[in-house]
Amino acid sequence: MIRPAMQLLAAMAMVPALAHAQWARTYEQFYYPAPDNWVFRTEYPGADRLFNAFDYGHAILYELLYTRPAASPAILEETQYDFLTTRLLVSPPRLPLKEMAIMPHYTRLAPEAKQMFEWAHILHRQVYDVLADERLDDARRDARLQELTRYYLSRRDLAFSTRPKSMALMQEQFYSLAFRERYPKFNGLIWGYHWLQVGLYEPLVAGRSRAERQAGVGAAVARFRQMLTDPPRTLPYQMPMTTVIAPIFAQRYPELAIIFDNLHSMHDVISDILASDKVPKGRKRAEILLAAERYRDDTTEVMSVEGWRRMSDMMGLQNMGGSAVGFLSELPTPTVARGLVMRHDKDGNMIGDAHEGHGAAMPVDSAAKDAHAGHVMPTPVADPHADHVLPAAPPDSAGALAAARAFHAALATSDSLGALALLLDDAIIQEAGRLEEKQGYRSGHLAADIAFAAALPAVRSGWKVRMEGVTAWVTSTSSTTGEYRGRQVDSIGQELMVLRHGDGGWRIASIHWSSRTRPSR
């Protein structure tokens, strides 16, 4: 008996050494038993098979980032990207893949994080099953999803928090943005995956019949394939947020929407840790486990639910790939530079500078840098004979700022023609959670905006201008106080304008407005 015991002890002594002195205590857990399991696979086999290909894409990404950190970006950006988009996504596997077989080294590095993803992906698939089950009415469907959520949250060692996490965890760590800057095409593909994963919920909850749901899922899959036509231009420029891509689903099931946004955010974090040369190989496991702990807890970088919605709106639907239902034939035109980083406070309000990355900030006009550093600037006097369009001049930050201020001056003086003339024909206006094109704005919110601006002029400050070629991003904050139509108003707001320079000078391509009641003093 002594010899076998000694052999066992010797074997046990070797395991920690082989695993970098780490013991993983996580374990696998399967689907919650229910008659609706795998209904989505039966009802929507084409969409279901795509998820199997997505699993391969995530797995090969992590394995190559970890095992070949010094390899040419072309291995992912060309070889693997082409294999995925021209072969695997065209003819996806019929059954889920065993990720351990694709990423053995990464799985051994961080089995806890791998299992967190696996547990959340099981939740993803079971939610599809419930929403696809035509035998369930709304009440039974809601009850089943509550049951699934409780089952998911029972694994506190694996479950993502149901509290929204700020983008600081994803974009403001010392290793952040390493992946998207080195692999922009593959990063866009991952965001395309996430667009479809949350986007498919919307036709399933918005469809009024089986036929509508079938058509909606088919259209969303076709839209995803359209995103692959001219990468990275046609892929999402910002991480798709569930409350924007699938607003009906997110309103009805906010806990699930928050879980999935936290899941997708952590996917980016792991990619950055693996891709960043600022994280030594011997430190990668520790950073991954720290990130995983932060996404599980209910205290680190937590936002309010309303702030999460506001932040998502400010990021821009058209920058995330657009709506998953009722979309036009053409892909939406993004209003920001690809990979632009927006910073928000915990209430979702934009703060500080927007920039493209730690090593690729948009250039700032040197004069504008001093003149616009958070001070209120005098409003320029508009020329009444300028036919409302600012004269053409070389693109500069002062001209972009003047155009932005001229638009507000037009609203405050009830000059609807002047305001409209400053908008490009394809301009998009986003306010109160809605998107309007120029014609819709003309016949819709323009009159209300003029009436409000004329009655209660806002005090604007903190103007900042960032430029890249013929595109400018102008941000500002505002304060509005007074009485309007019998009610007291005391609000603060944020604005992001995107302007393009052309033959007519600077004109507005997009406006994002967000406001909230001022906190009690």
Per-residue 3-state assignment (H helix, E strand, C coil) for 360-373:
CCCCCCHHHHHHCC
Question: Would you list the domain boundaries of the chain?
Answer: 37-341, 362-517
Backbone angles phi, psi at 239, to 5 degrees: -65, 125
| Percent of the chain predicted with pLDDT > 90 | 60
Res. 8: pLDDT tops 50 = no
Beta strands in 63-117 (DSSP E): none
Among 98-107, 405-414, 441-450, top mean pLDDT goes to 98-107
Give tens-digit pLDDT for 147-206. 999 999 999 999 999 999 999 999 999 999 999 999 999 999 999 999 999 999 999 999
Give tens-digit pLDDT for 276-321. 999 999 999 999 999 999 999 999 999 999 999 999 998 999 999 9
| Of 309, 313, 352, the residue nearest 466 (C-alpha) | 352
Give tens-digit pLDDT for 117-130. 999 999 999 999 99
What one-character-per-residue DSSP string does 333-382 give?
PPSS-TT-EEEE-TTS-EEEEEES-TT-PPP--HHHHHHTSS---PPPPP
pLDDT at 376: 31
The rounded distance, in Å, linking the Cα atoms of 249 and 261 is 13
Q: What is residue 237's DSSP assignment?
A: S
* pTM confidence score: 0.70
pLDDT at 383: 38
Q: Work out whether strand 505-517 and strand 423-431 pair parallel, antiparallel, or are unpaired.
A: parallel
Higher pLDDT, 342 or 434: 342
**CATH number corresponding to 362-517:** 3.10.450.50
Backbone angles phi, psi at 241, to 5 degrees: -105, 135
Cα dihedral 439/443/446/452 (nearest 10)? -170
